[in-house]
Amino acid sequence: MDKIWVQGIFEKLKTKLTAECERNKTNIPYIPVNGRYENMEKSEGIFWWTNGFWPGMLWQMYNATKDELFRKTAEYTEVQFDKALEGFEGLHHDVGFMWLHTSVANYRLTGNDDSRRRSLHASNLLAGRYNPAGKFIRAWNMDRTGWIIIDCMMNIPILYWASKETDDPRFKIVGMEHAYTTLNHLVRSDGSCNHIAVLSPITGDCLETPAGQGFASGSSWSRGQSWGLYGFALSYRHTNDVKFLDAAKRIAHYVIANFAQNDWLPIVDFRSPAEPVKYDSTAAMISACGLLEISNHVGEYEKKLYTNAALKLLTTVEKNFADWNIETDGIIGKGTGSYHGKPHDTEVPIIYADYFFTEAILRILEKDFLIW
């Protein structure tokens, strides 16, 4: 590990994120427009799934530095989220992403009772989406009664947290059953993953695996692979079921081979046409965190494989796509929402690339805390 490089990045993160906080004390950042984050009302609104990443990144920085600016700015988003809990029909499976990074993080670091209450509320909303016939947590709303998506592997850690916190196994059982169903229907034998499976909400049979945010049905959306890699590693951490670690490793080996194929520059879909080349830095940053998580659960020799791959992704993306100018918002550029998306979320800085970059750097420095 190049500790000097990592330490240097930590210093840059402190400087840049302090400047961003000063400009965005009452904002919930997503994608900067002309170098500045927009007011949240102008972008995606309070129910938007990425709204937790800004406070999550600030809680990580608060834990590492004890700088009160980071804590106070993170608390602002958590209080705003009460409007989302009240109007809960706008919420869906992504309550994990939203409340793990706000109130669970706050509760873990400060023991705040309001944060605990909000976190349990969000956990109950997620558990309430469970379909016992098909053993899955349904994704999204409207008529998608039988949809599951690979992304949801990152939401179920709030259920593992809730079981531990309440000493009630129900939440963990729901999380584990959903993870087994995801393993059956979304992880392919070669380690690649479908984004979506449509299951019968009555029998749980798999009806189809349509295209999602990747190139096409049957392709290999790199962020989806990364959600699977990190999500299964986290399920192993919380349950000790080795099936989950094996799944995380299988996806990791597939992902490492594909990133290496393109000199560690992350493309949006590993099974898309060679041209045009479209990048998605978020996939690399999420994978780096997942690889570092796996490295905690293997022996010394294997550890090198995962930590070296994580460092390759971090250094390559930082060198090619990072913006350290403190006058502009956003650090890691070239994030992409979906393969066929519009220009506003294609190859742009997206808040969760910065979150996972920060988490990975702090993991290496052993200055992180478990948000998941």
Output 93 or 250, the one with its CB closest to ligand GLY. 93
Residues forming a β-bridge with 208: 198
Residue 196 phi/psi, 5-degree rounding, is -125, 145
CB-nearer residue toward ligand GLY: 98 or 245? 98
Compare residues 64 and 126 and give the one whose CB is closer to ligand GLY: 126
Angle in degrees, CA 222, 143, 159, rounded to 5: 60
Task: Give yes or no: 113 in active site.
Answer: no
**C-alpha closest to that of 1 among 311, 360, 292:** 311
End-to-end distance of the chain based on CA atoms, in angstroms?
24
Q: Judged by CB, which is closer to ligand GLY: 9, or 349?
A: 349
User: Does 131 engage in binding with ligand GLY (CB under 6 A)?
Assistant: no
For 157, the token pair is 């850690």
Instruction: Build a one-symbol-per-residue string for 221-260: x at contacts with ligand GLY by CB under 6 A, - elsewhere.
Output: --x-------------------------------------
Report, in Å, the least distance between residue 151 CB and ligand GLY: 4
270: its two tokens: 């590993």
Is residue 151 near ligand GLY by the rule CB under 6 A? Answer: yes
Token pair of 74, please?
């993170």
Binding-residue pattern over the window 301 to 330 for ligand GLY, x denoting contact by CB under 6 A: ------------------------------
Number of amino acids touching ligand GLY (CB under 6 A): 5
- x-or-dash pattern for ligand GLY, window 179-218, by CB under 6 A? ----------------------------------x-----
* Tokens encoding 212: 């999602």
Cβ 134 vs Cβ 200: under 8 Å: yes
The single-letter code of the amino acid at 133 is A
DSSP string, 242-259: HHHHHHHHHHHHHHHHHH
Helices (H) and strands (E) in the chain, counts: 14, 7
Of 113, 114, 151, 241, the active-site residue reads 151
**Catalytic site includes residue 151:** yes
278 binds ligand GLY (CB under 6 A): no
Catalytic residues: 94, 151
